[in-house]
Amino acid sequence: MNIEIKARDLIAEGWHEGKRLGATLRRARQMEAEGVERATLLVQLEEEFPKQLIVALPRHEPAPLAEAIEAEGDEETANVTAVRRRMHEMLRMPVVQRGAIMPDACPTGQAPATIPVGGAIAAENAIIPGAHSADICCSMFATFFPANHPTTEMMDHLQKVTHFGPGGRPRGDQWTSAVLGEPVWDNPYLGGLRSRAQDFLGTQGDGNHFSYIGRVDFTDTQRAALEAAGYNDLAKSIERRDGAFNVLVTHHGSRGLGADVYKRGLKAAKKWCRENAKDIPDAAAWLPYDSPEGASYWEALQYVGRWTRENHALLHDALLRRLGQRALVQIGNEHNFVWKRGDTFLHGKGATPAWKDAEGRPLLGLIPLNMAREILLVLGADNDDYLSFCPHGAGRNRSRTATIAPYKNDDGELDPGRVKQVLDETTAGLDIRWFNGGADLSESPLGYKDATKVKAQIDQFGLAHVVGEIQPRGCIMAGEADEQPWQRARRLKRARHKAERQDAAQELDQT
Ligand SMILES: Nc1nc2c(ncn2[C@@H]2O[C@H](COP(=O)(O)O)[C@@H](O)[C@H]2O)c(=O)[nH]1
Ligand SMILES: [Mn+2]
């Protein structure tokens, strides 16, 4: 009688559950069908499919971490300690070779190995979805155009063309582009997402994404530095325009499209690590680049990069059309992404690439600080000590909740008078607009670290050279939606209950 060997028989003999078990079982059944007797079969099988799996394990000691950050005071010191801890957890992964933190580093999550904002790592043959984070391709994009429009005119048009808030554009108001027609939808990480890619075109989302109008006046030294670095078109344009430009700068990521690709990538990475590694935190799960899953994920990421750049470009074109202008120069950079340099996969979560391009030119990058400060145009210093990254912003010292806490009244509600006052003080002279109507204090300059100190540390650690400063004129962010009637009713009800409780307590005291 031919009793078919089962997976549980192999497990009982010491083989492990997982992807390889299927292949082992198929081979065992083939031998069984050929009439090989069970004992011989098991010996032969051990030779072909050894029970001892080569399992990747975390290292005891973390790989080296380079810190381009100087903490001042208790709050910053505690932040750097938290950042270091998460980085050390990530740096214990066997595929991670080195790490660096930037001057804007700040913690983002409690889960082990969650890469902090301002963190960068170098990995070998591995893509770690958690290390580029869910907002794949969060990026900056700038268009330089003639400086002959008043700020209000530019801001009015900008407010009409852009879109903030959750979700995509409503049906009937959707945008289109050739990027949607690319033959990528068979990729397992992109399959079924074409309509999502369409819905989210022309949108910027919320949080700290923004549309910023600024003005730059390049000095002759800055023009010469750009020319010496090989940016001849920009240098010529500066010469022709006497150094003066209006600039639109946008900041956003890959929206719902990227979020879905990330979910699929993370799921695949967790599965791969479950089958081939042990004790790997989810935030550090990886896909080997040379596996079919890894290669497809890499291709999907490249598409998400093209989609996001196109999204920026469409928004910029829409503003320029309304202004009757054309782009003189456009530049942009991702700061949440994975880049392949030789055999190394550089991951950045809030880190600006600052190495040299294929032609040997230092990369140009844009570093925003806050809505009331200049956006820095930098030439990367290619400082290998810090994995050739520079910061991507100013970073936060406090959570959003802690930032707004001092502006709440006794009922735990934001005090509109104090919010207005502090916004007027911190953004005086600027045209600040909140797309959804209400101000979001946690996104005002109050939310971010001291920009001057971060800027000084770029220089101190030799990360990049500033070759232009785009001075703020106006900024649009998502902001908070105006209070809905039901929200107002709930707030008033809570306040009433609180007052009643206090009255009751007072009465008790008096009796
Ligand atoms: N120019 C502006 N910069 C801003 C604004 N809000 C935030 N920021 C800066 O951007 C970085 C990027 O943050 P990310 O982690 O989401 O990529 C952040 O660190 C701030 O320094 C703004 O309204 N205008
Ligand atoms: Mn970003």
151 and 44 in one domain? no
In a domain, 304, yes or no: yes
Q: 13 and 151 share a domain? A: no
Q: Which two tokens stand for residue 64?
A: 């080296």
C-alpha span between 298 and 289 (Å, rounded): 7
Does residue 283 form part of some domain? yes
Question: Which H or E run contains 246?
Answer: strand 244-252
| Torsion, Cα of 39, 41, 42, 44 (10° steps) | 120
Burial of 356 (0-12, 13-18, 19+ CB in 10 A): middle
State residue 493's pLDDT score.
81
| Residue 226 maps to a domain | yes
> Which residue range is the domain that position 241 belongs to?
139-397+449-478
Give me the helices (H) in 111-150, please.
Answer: 129-132
Within 13 Å, how many C-alpha atoms sit on residue 423's CB side?
22
Do 263 and 371 sit in the same domain of this protein? yes
Does 42 share its domain with 145? no
In the predicted structure, residue 1 carries a pLDDT above the cut 60:
no
483 compared with 99, residue with greater pLDDT = 99
Q: Is 131 annotated as a binding residue?
A: no
Distance (angstroms) between ligand 2 centre and the Cα of 138 equals 4
Same domain for 153 and 44, yes or no, is: no
Q: Which atom of ligand 1 is nearest to the CA of 475?
A: 23
Same domain assignment for residues 19 and 154: no
Which residue, chain included where needed, has tokens 């950079």?
Answer: 333
Residues 225 and 365 in one domain: yes
Is residue 178 in a domain?
yes
User: Is there a binding annotation on residue 368?
Assistant: yes
- Tell me what percent of the residues of the chain surpass a pLDDT of 90: 82
Question: Is residue 392 annotated as part of the catalytic site, yes or no?
Answer: yes
Shared-domain flag, residues 14 and 146: no
Which of 132, 392, 465, 497 is labelled catalytic? 392
Task: Give the C-alpha separation, 188 to 153, whole Å.
Answer: 45
Q: What is the mean pLDDT of residues 329-349?
A: 97
Q: What is the DSSP string of 330-349?
A: EEEEESEEEEEETTEEEEEE
Residue 297 sits in the same domain as residue 197: yes
Is residue 90 included in any domain, yes or no?
A: no
CATH code for position 283:
3.90.1860.10
Average confidence (pLDDT) over 22-49? 94
Give, as one character, the DSSP assignment of residue 399. -
Ligand 1 atom index nearest CA of 454: 21
Are 163 and 203 a contacting pair, CB within 8 Å?
Answer: yes
Q: Is residue 502 situated within a structural domain?
A: no
Is residue 480 scored above 60 in pLDDT? yes
Report yes or no on 121 lying in a domain. Answer: no
**Domain count of the fold of the chain:** 2
Round to the nearest angstrom and report the end-to-end CA distance of the chain. 92
Is there a binding annotation on residue 477? no
Residue 511 in this model has a pLDDT that exceeds 70: no
Average pLDDT of span 8-12: 94
Residues 311/250, Cβ–Cβ less than 8 Å: no
User: Of all protein residues, whose CA lies closest to atom 16 belonging to ligand 1?
Assistant: 208
Cα 137 from Cα 346, distance rounded (Å): 14
Residue 146 and residue 15 share a domain: no
Q: Please state, as a whole number, how many other Cβ atoms lie within 10 Å of the Cβ of residue 499.
A: 11
Q: Cβ neighbours of residue 429 under 8 Å, at least 6 residues apart?
A: none
Q: What single DSSP character describes residue 405? A: G
How far is CA 464 from each of CA 38, 150, 428, rounded to the nearest angstrom? 67, 32, 30
Residue 370 in contact with ligand 1 by CB distance below 6 A:
yes
Q: Which long-range contacts (CB under 8 A, 24 or more apart) does 167-171 make?
A: 167/199, 167/203, 167/256, 168/196, 168/198, 168/199, 168/200, 168/201, 168/203, 168/255, 168/256, 169/199, 169/200, 169/201, 169/202, 169/203
Ligand 1 center–CA 272 separation, angstroms: 34
Sort residue 336 into left (φ over 0), alpha (ψ -120 to 50) or beta: beta
Task: Please indicate, yes or no, whether residues 268 and 384 belong to a single structural domain of this protein.
Answer: yes
* Complex ipTM value: 0.98
Q: Round to whole Å and give the CA distance between 28 and 425.
A: 76
pLDDT at position 2: 61
d(CA 464, CA 355): 9
| Spatial distance between the Cα atoms of 330 and 502, rounded to a whole number of angstroms | 60
Radius of gyration, alpha carbons of the chain = 27
Determine whether the annotation assigns residue 209 to a binding site: yes
468: in domain = yes
Report, as an integer, the average pLDDT of 65-88: 96
Summarised one tens digit per residue, pLDDT across range 444-468 is 999 899 999 999 999 999 999 999 9
Residue 52: band (very low, low, confident or very high) from pLDDT cuts 50, 70, 90: confident
pLDDT band at 51 (very low <50, low <70, confident <90, very high): confident
The pLDDT, as a whole number, for residue 37 is: 94
Predicted local confidence at residue 489, as pLDDT: 78
Q: Which ligand is nearest to the CA of 394?
A: 1
Contact status, residue 438 vs residue 432, Cβ threshold 8 Å: no
∠454-455-458 over CA atoms, to 5°? 90
Any idea which ligand is nearest the CA of 108? 1
Tell me: pLDDT of 502 over 80: no
Q: What is the pLDDT of residues 278-301, one digit of tens each?
A: 999 999 999 999 999 999 999 999
Long-range Cβ contact pairs of 416-423 (< 8 A, separation 24 or more): 422/446
The set of residues, in sequence order, having a beta carbon less than 8 Å from that of 473 and lying 6+ positions away, is 151, 154, 155, 213, 214, 215, 246, 430, 431
Q: How far apart are CA 397 and CA 5, in angstroms?
A: 60
- What is the reported pLDDT for 313? 98
d(CA 265, CA 260): 9
Ligand 1 midpoint to CA 369 (Å) = 6
Q: How high is the pLDDT of residue 510? A: 66
Query: Same domain, yes or no, for 191 and 312?
Result: yes
Which residues partner with 466 through β-bridges? 378
What is the DSSP code (8-state) at residue 74?
A: H
